[in-house]
Amino acid sequence: MNQHPAALQRGDTVGIIAPASPPDEMKLAKGIAFLERLGLKVKQGKHIHRRYGYLAGHDYERVEDLHDMFQDPKVKAILCACGGYGTGRIAEAINYDLIRKNPKIFWGYSDITFLHIAIHQQTGLITFHGPMLSSDVGDEQVHPYTKDTFLQLFTPKPFTYANHLSPLKTIYQGTASGEIMGGNLALIVTTLGTPFEIDIKGKLLLIEDIDEEPYKIDRMMQHLKSAGKLDDAAGFIVGDFHQCEPQKKEQSLTLEHLWETYLLPQKKPALGGFQIGHSSPNFAIPIGTQAVLDATGKALRISPGVVAKEAIK
């Protein structure tokens, strides 16, 4: 059974961790200042400023920070500073029973996708695929929508993503409902064959990515198809594929060709154009919550990802 975390209140403490690569320090400071302007207090992980090559500290240090935040009763939400690489390395070392007993908001995207999938499968906790402090909020120019998307953590209310937010494109018509699951396409594929292999049966598959040429996306979509995951899905939410244009356009297929190859034959509702992922604005979306995808009417109706604090028993 899925578990909703409690909504935030002004004055709450949120924990900041870097479970993948190290954050940009100046951008992180800007992101923390943004949270403080929202009326939140900030607790940084003990190892968040550590660097071990392309990782934000050794595996055990990054796991320790995650565990510390989940077991600290004063911390009401855990926000990731950035993505990069490394969450797949720590998934097997995480104490999921600790998370199950201390459910709270967990927020991030990109490489954090592996943790979204692992945490939801092991605990049923609804998490958030959303912009991060160093990667997004700390940029020089931050879209107002990117900032506003954090407000959903304070008030449990449904949200509809439609054409007023970005131009949506129907890939295949129809309506489907189910839990939202997925995130970064490359990370989704890396779960296959592991103890955390994505379960997409009867769910709405969210995909997005960055800096991948079409032939690489083709390879990943074929991998999902061969693994039966496209057959399992109830529908498809196609997020932003940022900077995924081919270097040699005359020798490449387009992303549209790939959707025609892999999504159209499924004859299931599929809708693209969502500014979810490595985009500006970057809209947050709950992972594991119920939603209705109306590909014909070009809308995604999403149930709240949090519940009022008094509703938690």
The residues annotated with a catalytic role in the active site are 110, 208, 278
Q: What is the pLDDT of residue 247?
A: 83
Q: What is the pLDDT of residue 229?
A: 98
Q: Output the six-digit token pair for 79.
A: 């926000």
- pLDDT, tens digit (0-9, with 9 covering 90-100), for 27-49: 999 999 999 999 999 999 999 99
3 state DSSP class of 42:
strand
Q: Are 145 and 281 in contact (CB under 8 A)?
A: yes
How far is the first Cα of the chain from the last one, in angstroms, to the nearest whole number? 15
Q: What is the pLDDT of residue 312?
A: 66
3 state DSSP class of 74:
coil
Mean pLDDT of 295-313: 90
- Say how far apart CA 122 and CA 127 lie, in whole Å: 12
Q: What is the pLDDT of residue 250?
A: 80
Q: What is the pLDDT of residue 13?
A: 98
Mean pLDDT of 238-254: 90
Mean pLDDT of 240-258: 90
What does the domain layout of the chain look like in residue ranges? 13-155, 159-302
- Asked if the domains 13-155 and 159-302 are classified in one and the same CATH topology, the answer is no
- Using DSSP, how many helices (H) and how many strands (E) does the chain show? 10, 14
- Say how far apart CA 116 and CA 109 lie, in whole Å: 8
Burial (CB count <10 Å: 0-12, 13-18, 19+), residue 3: middle
Q: Which CATH superfamily is domain 159-302 in?
A: LD-carboxypeptidase A C-terminal domain-like (3.50.30.60)
Q: Which CATH superfamily is domain 13-155 in?
A: Murein tetrapeptidase LD-carboxypeptidase, N-terminal domain (3.40.50.10740)
Q: What is the pLDDT of residue 249?
A: 79
Q: What is the pLDDT of residue 118?
A: 98
Taking the complete model, does pTM exceed 0.85, yes or no? yes
Q: Output the six-digit token pair for 101.
A: 């007993």
Q: Are 283 and 161 in contact (CB under 8 A)?
A: yes
Q: What is the pLDDT of residue 22?
A: 97
3 state DSSP class of 98:
helix
3 state DSSP class of 116:
helix
Q: Does 313 have pLDDT greater than 70?
A: no
- pLDDT, tens digit (0-9, with 9 covering 90-100), for 58-104: 999 999 999 999 999 999 999 999 999 999 999 999 999 999 999 99
Q: What is the pLDDT of residue 1?
A: 77
Q: Does 298 have pLDDT greater than 90?
A: yes
Using omega within 30 degrees of 0 as the cis cutoff, is the peptide bond preceding 281 cis?
yes
- State the chain's mean pLDDT as an integer: 96
Which residues have a Cβ under 8 Å from the Cβ of 166 and sit 6 or more positions away?
Answer: 273, 274, 275
Q: Per-residue confidence at 129, pLDDT binned at 50, 70, 90?
A: very high
